[in-house]
């Protein structure tokens, strides 16, 4: 399954040096305890985190020469060089090179709002092609809300985004900041987990499933309705690959920043609550959505005259979307009891096992989508968009510990099917609960998408992408599938990969520039060289060509 590269003399020289691969991670500092220092008025966020807190610590700085990393710092596309640091080599034989980009105003996270979330989303978007992954440093108080909001705002995310913070500042003698940040950096630098995640106390949680459960314990977060996506032990980080969500559209990464947070509210039911109280909230000027925290499996007091239900039903008729979530930490809203059923008969949407944080931010996201109607929002609140809720409970296929042989065998069989252009076989193999194979790699680091990028069958490449295969993984030579497809001269593969958001990694650009001198056409399609095609042109040209192929009946 080795893919031969067209090595040109200038590159051969570089390749003779022993080379330890490096991942490039952007750390975005928004504030929080992790960077705080004491002041006369209590702890406040302080600037200079990279120099003051990281540069002096050997686990965060291997002492090598600091090179500059480009960071796009504003909406005009202004690029500023930031000094980088590099971790020592990890157990996975890599190093992580990173730089910290600090926001103008560092916040205690209790003061963050939709504007702050938009700023984080924009920073990721502006720097998306320059880095392999992103780590966002944030206070813990509202961290679960920010994780949930970002999970919806970052659409078709193809790279790892991890939020973390700490209970004690990095400069305190006993702190959790070092472990939380190092763990996040290592996961971000090694694993392709294209989700918004939260790393804390050695666990990686799905961001929109998490909530803060302790005010001062180091184990401050949990995701009670979803097992951790990964757990770090003294030996390694074990990723629960069966759980990882992947984008399954042929679409670019994009962001949606205008959340309607000003027209949603949250209300907790309690014994004795008066219908008038709920009515007063529902009559707030411009209110469009309410998250109702109910008892147990989604129950609210009936009352003698149904007054509470009537208040809710009237509001729903006025176009307000009301979502039912449980006050319990685990479990789901379900119509088991009469008191819960009457809520759903009144038109209240079952939020299933959504956390309040996810329900509130999802409502704000859906209400702000173009053409949103109360009906479309109500429908989508009960559907899983980013793994934030469990639609139906299905048994999860788990591999016993000794399953390595099966894994290697399955990957080999898949590799042959791809090489032979046998789409039917590829579909069969992946159907057999083998989705984890998508981002698995053979001995030379090639994933199935790498193999399909150079195999003759375009439908196989499309199929793998639509199953969630990553376009950003790099093989042992540091090559992306896009590089391999361009190098093989496969223009249609190159176009399909670019429509799916693929771009050349910054480490590949020098080699690609040289190769583009020989074959400007296909490398131009890959976005490099004298005949470089921009993302926009590619999308337009791509759609036309795709339409032609569909008409000719050759597209799947």
Please give the residue ranges that form the binding site for ligand ASP (CB under 6 A).
32-33, 108-110, 139-141, 165, 167
We find the least distance from the C-beta atom of residue 52 to ligand ASP, in angstroms, to be 17
> DSSP for 404-459?
HHHHHHHHHHHHHHHHTT-HHHHHHHHHTT-GGGGG---TTS--HHHHHHSSS-HH
Nearer to ligand ASP, 218 or 416 (CB): 218
Q: Which residues pair with 415 in a beta bridge?
A: none
Helix, strand, or coil here: 116? helix
We find the least distance from the C-beta atom of residue 214 to ligand ASP, in angstroms, to be 11
* Active-site entry in 30, 33, 129, 294: 33
Separation between Cα atoms, residue 262 and residue 113, nearest integer Å:
10
We find the least distance from the C-beta atom of residue 146 to ligand ASP, in angstroms, to be 10
376, 75, 124: which is closest to 254 by C-alpha? 124
We find the least distance from the C-beta atom of residue 206 to ligand ASP, in angstroms, to be 20
Nearer to ligand ASP, 111 or 306 (CB): 111
Burial of 224 (0-12, 13-18, 19+ CB in 10 A): middle
Nearer to ligand ASP, 167 or 480 (CB): 167
Nearer to ligand ASP, 110 or 327 (CB): 110
Nearer to ligand ASP, 144 or 464 (CB): 144
Backbone angles phi and psi of 96, in degrees to 5: -110, 120
Question: What's CA 394's distance to the chain center, in Å?
Answer: 23
Nearer to ligand ASP, 92 or 218 (CB): 218
Nearer to ligand ASP, 173 or 551 (CB): 173
Nearer to ligand ASP, 140 or 326 (CB): 140
Q: Which two three-digit tokens encode residue 16?
A: 């003779």
We find the least distance from the C-beta atom of residue 89 to ligand ASP, in angstroms, to be 31
223, 235 contact by CB (below 8 A)? no
Residue whose Cβ sits closest to ligand ASP? 139
Q: Is 355 a catalytic residue?
A: no
We find the least distance from the C-beta atom of residue 50 to ligand ASP, in angstroms, to be 18
CA atoms within 13 A on the CB side of 436: 17
We find the least distance from the C-beta atom of residue 167 to ligand ASP, in angstroms, to be 6
Separation between Cα atoms, residue 42 and residue 310, nearest integer Å:
48
Mutual angle of helices 356-367 and 143-153, in 10-degree steps? 40
Q: What b-and-e string marks burial along 274-304, b requiring 16 or more CB atoms within 10 Å of the CB?
A: ebeebbeebeeeebbbbbbbbbebbbbbeee
DSSP 482: H
Three state DSSP letters for 327-391: CCCCCCCCCCCHHHHHHHHCCCEECCCCCHHHHHHHHHHHHCCCCCCHHHHHHHHCCCCCCCCCC
270, 300 contact by CB (below 8 A)? no
We find the least distance from the C-beta atom of residue 207 to ligand ASP, in angstroms, to be 16
Q: Which residues are catalytic?
A: 33
């Amino acid at each position: 399954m080795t893919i031969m590269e067209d090595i040109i003399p200038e590159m051969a020289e570089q390749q003779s040096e022993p080379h330890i691969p490096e991942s490039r991670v952007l750390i975005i500092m928004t504030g929080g305890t992790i960077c705080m220092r004491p002041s006369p008025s209590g702890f406040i966020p302080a600037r200079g985190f990279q120099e003051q807190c990281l540069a002096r610590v050997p686990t965060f700085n291997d002492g090598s020469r600091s090179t500059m990393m480009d960071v796009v710092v504003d909406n005009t596309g202004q690029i500023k060089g930031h000094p980088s640091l590099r971790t020592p080599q990890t157990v996975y034989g890599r190093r992580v090179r990173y730089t910290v980009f600090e926001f103008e105003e560092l916040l205690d996270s209790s003061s963050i709002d939709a504007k702050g979330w938009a700023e984080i989303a924009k920073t990721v978007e502006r720097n998306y092609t320059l880095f392999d992954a992103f780590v966002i440093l944030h206070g813990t108080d509202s961290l679960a809300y920010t994780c949930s909001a970002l999970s919806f705002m970052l659409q078709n995310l193809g790279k790892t985004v991890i939020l973390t913070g700490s209970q004690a500042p990095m400069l305190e003698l006993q702190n959790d900041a070092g472990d939380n940040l190092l763990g996040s950096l290592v996961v971000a630098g090694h694993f392709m987990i294209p989700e918004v995640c939260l790393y804390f106390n050695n666990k990686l949680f799905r961001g929109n499933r998490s909530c803060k459960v302790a005010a001062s314990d180091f184990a401050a977060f949990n995701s009670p309705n979803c097992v951790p996506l990964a757990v770090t032990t003294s030996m390694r980080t074990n990723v629960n690959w069966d759980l990882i969500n992947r984008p399954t559209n042929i679409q670019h990464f994009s962001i949606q920043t205008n959340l309607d947070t000003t027209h949603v509210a949250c209300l907790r039911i309690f014994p004795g609550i008066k219908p008038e109280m709920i009515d007063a909230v529902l009559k707030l000027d411009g209110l469009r959505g309410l998250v109702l925290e109910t008892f147990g499996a989604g129950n609210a007091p009936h009352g003698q005259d149904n007054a509470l239900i009537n208040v809710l039903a009237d509001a729903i008729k006025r176009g307000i979307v009301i979502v039912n979530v449980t006050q319990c930490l685990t479990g789901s809203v379900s119509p088991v009891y009469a008191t819960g059923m009457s809520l759903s008969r009144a038109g209240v949407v079952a939020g299933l096992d959504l956390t309040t944080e996810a329900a509130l931010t999802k409502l704000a996201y859906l209400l702000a989508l173009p053409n949103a109607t109360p009906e479309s929002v109500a429908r989508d609140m009960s559907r899983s968009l980013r793994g934030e809720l469990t639609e139906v409970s299905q048994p999860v296929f788990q591999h016993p510990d000794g399953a390595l042989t099966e894994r290697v065998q399955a990957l080999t069989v898949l590799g042959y099917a791809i090489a032979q252009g046998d789409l039917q076989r590829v579909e069969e193999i992946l159907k057999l609960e083998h989705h984890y194979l998508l981002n698995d790699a053979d001995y030379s680091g090639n994933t199935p998408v790498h193999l399909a990028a150079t195999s003759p069958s375009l439908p196989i490449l499309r199929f793998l992408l639509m199953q969630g295969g990553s376009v950003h993984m790099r093989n042992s030579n540091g090559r992306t599938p896009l590089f391999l497809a361009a190098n093989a001269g496969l223009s249609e593969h190159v176009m399909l990969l670019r429509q799916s958001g693929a771009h050349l990694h910054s480490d590949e650009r020098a080699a690609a520039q040289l190769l583009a001198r020989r074959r400007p056409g296909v490398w131009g399609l890959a976005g490099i060289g004298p005949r470089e095609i921009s993302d926009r042109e590619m999308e337009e040209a791509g759609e036309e060509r795709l339409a032609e192929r569909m008409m000719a009946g050759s597209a799947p």
